[in-house]
Amino acid sequence: MKSRDVAASPSTRGGRGRARVVGLFLFSVFIMIGCGEPIGRAVSLFEDQAVYAAACRYLDAEVRRDHRAVYASLAPSSPYCAQNSYEMYLAEASQAPAIASYRIVKISDICPNEDRVRFPKIDKIARVEVEMRLVLNGVGEKIDVNFAFPFVKEGGRWYKG
C-alpha cells in the first residue's frame, strides 16, 4: 500500500482517522447483521482459524519429519496416546510414508463433543480435509492422496485426534 505525501493539518488528520474508525465500525456491523447470528459467526471464524493453525502445526511437523512435534500435536487423551509411548510412535513413524507437501482443502463439521462419557476431556471435534503428496519408503515413489483428519479441542487447544 502506497502512502501519499499530502500536507494535512492535525485537525484534518484527526477527522480522517475518526471517520475511518467509524466507517470501519459501521462496515463491520453491517457485515455481521447481514450475515445473521454475528456472535456465532465470529466464534466460528475464530474456531476455523484455531483448527487451521493446529492442522498446519501438525502437517508442517510431518513434512519436516519432526517426530517430537508430531507427537506433541496428538491429543493427549486420545486412545493412540494412551496406548503408545513416544518410543512406540517413533518405531511406527520410521516405517510410515513421508508427507512431502500438503494443502488444506476444507475445515468442516466443527461441533461440540456429544459423547462426554467415552471422551470426557474433548470439548469439540472438527474434520480437516487435506490433499497430500506422500513419498513411499524405500521406493521413493510419490503419490497424491486426499485424506480427512479428525481434530479435537482439549483443554482449550486443538490437537490431531
Q: For residues 152 and 158, give the distance between their C-alpha atoms in angstroms, rounded to a whole number.
A: 5
Which three three-digit cell numbers place residue 91?
Answer: 518405531
Domains and CATH numbers, the chain: 38-160 (3.10.450.100)
Provide CB contacts within 8 A for 65, sequence distance 6+: 98
Say if pTM beats, i.e. exceeds, 0.75.
no
The predicted structure's pLDDT at residue 138: 74
Q: What is the pLDDT of residues 19-31, one digit of tens each?
A: 666 555 555 544 4
Sign, Cα dihedral of 130, 132, 136, 142: positive
What pLDDT shows up at residue 54? 98
The pLDDT-based confidence of 115 (bands split at 50, 70, 90) is: very high
Name the band, by pLDDT with cuts 50, 70 and 90, for residue 60. Answer: very high
Using one digit for the tens of pLDDT, what is the confidence trace for 93-109?
988 999 999 999 999 99
